[in-house]
């Protein structure tokens, strides 16, 4: 495992119940650059044939997944362990958001792990006791029902902010059209509107023209969009086809 991979938190699924949920969690992980999944006592054993289809191509995560017989074994090499759960009675630990936890993980030495409990019951108190902090999110108190993949993706996304992931750029977007092309579009439209009495009364002509120009200038059309709109106007100018 590379040094870069060692910086990334391990995702530890404790007693996961359904292969589909393991696959969906793998998909959530890989979307944000996490590849190390650790499974503690998966209910239906491992590998699970239901996980692959649900992973939607995140096969590398499933292929590398390792299985442990206890939570303590799964996090034995981790210096920083976070338990995803609501605050539990009798457990006195720091409570962090995914954003705060990911910032800690990115800045401190040593391996990190994030614990996720079974789909129905969540983490047991014994599992939470192994963590140095509780990781939780503000959630609707009347409906606190995140599924496993949703919980994983929240944490993975916050971690990704500290990684050099490829971000969508605007390089593929065309630049705004030159002013000459935009003026041509506006003149074309004005030429169609004038005979229709759009600018009447005359006392409002200039104000109406300025307003129309403002509307057409605001979107920042590129040259293909301007060409398309000119085509629309040209089609409207033509006599209907017989």
100-140 pLDDT tens trace: 999 999 888 889 999 999 988 889 989 998 999 999 888 88
**Phi and psi for 232 in degrees, rounded to 5?**
-60, -45
The model carries a pTM of 0.69
- More confident of the two residues 163 and 113: 113
In a domain, 151, yes or no: yes
- Residue 116 lies inside a defined structural domain of this protein: yes
The pLDDT > 90 percentage for the chain reads 52
Q: Which of 102, 132, 160 is the last residue of a domain?
A: 160
Query: Confidence class of residue 55 from pLDDT cuts 50, 70 and 90?
Result: very high
**Domain stop point among 99, 129, 160:** 160
**pLDDT > 70: what percent of the chain?**
93
11 and 69 in a single domain? The answer is yes
**Cβ neighbours of residue 219 closer than 8 Å, sequence gap 6 or more:** 225
| Domain-located, residue 208 | yes
- 33 and 121 in a single domain? The answer is yes
d(CA 146, CA 135) in angstroms, rounded, equals: 14
Read off the pLDDT of residues 137-162 as tens digits, 9 standing for 90 and up: 888 878 777 889 999 999 999 999 88
Domain check: are 106 and 193 in the same one?
no
| Structural domain that includes position 190 | 179-237
The DSSP secondary-structure symbol of 202 reads G
pLDDT of residue 45 exceeding 80:
yes
């Amino acid at each position: 495992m590379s040094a870069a991979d060692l910086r990334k938190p391990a995702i530890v699924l404790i007693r996961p119940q359904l292969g589909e949920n393991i696959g969906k969690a793998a998909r959530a992980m890989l979307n944000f650059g996490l590849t190390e999944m650790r499974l503690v006592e998966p209910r239906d054993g491992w590998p699970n044939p239901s996980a692959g289809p649900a992973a939607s191509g995140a096969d590398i995560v499933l292929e590398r997944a390792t299985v442990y017989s206890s939570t303590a074994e799964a996090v034995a090499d981790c210096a920083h362990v976070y338990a995803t759960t609501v605050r539990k009675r009798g457990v006195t630990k720091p409570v962090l958001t995914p954003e705060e936890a990911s910032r800690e993980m990115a800045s401190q030495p040593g391996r990190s792990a994030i614990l996720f409990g079974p789909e129905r019951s969540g983490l047991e108190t014994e599992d939470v006791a192994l963590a140095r902090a509780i990781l939780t999110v503000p959630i609707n108190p009347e409906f606190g029902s995140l599924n496993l993949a949703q919980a994983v993706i929240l944490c993975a996304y916050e971690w990704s902010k500290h990684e050099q992931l490829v971000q969508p750029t605007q390089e593929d977007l065309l630049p705004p059209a030159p002013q000459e092309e935009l003026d041509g579009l506006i003149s074309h439209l004005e030429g169609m509107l004038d005979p229709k009495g759009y600018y009447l009364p005359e006392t409002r002509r200039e104000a109406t023209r300025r307003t129309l120009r403002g509307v057409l200038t605001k979107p920042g059309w590129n040259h293909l969009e301007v060409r398309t709109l000119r085509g629309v106007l040209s089609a409207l100018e033509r006599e209907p086809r017989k």
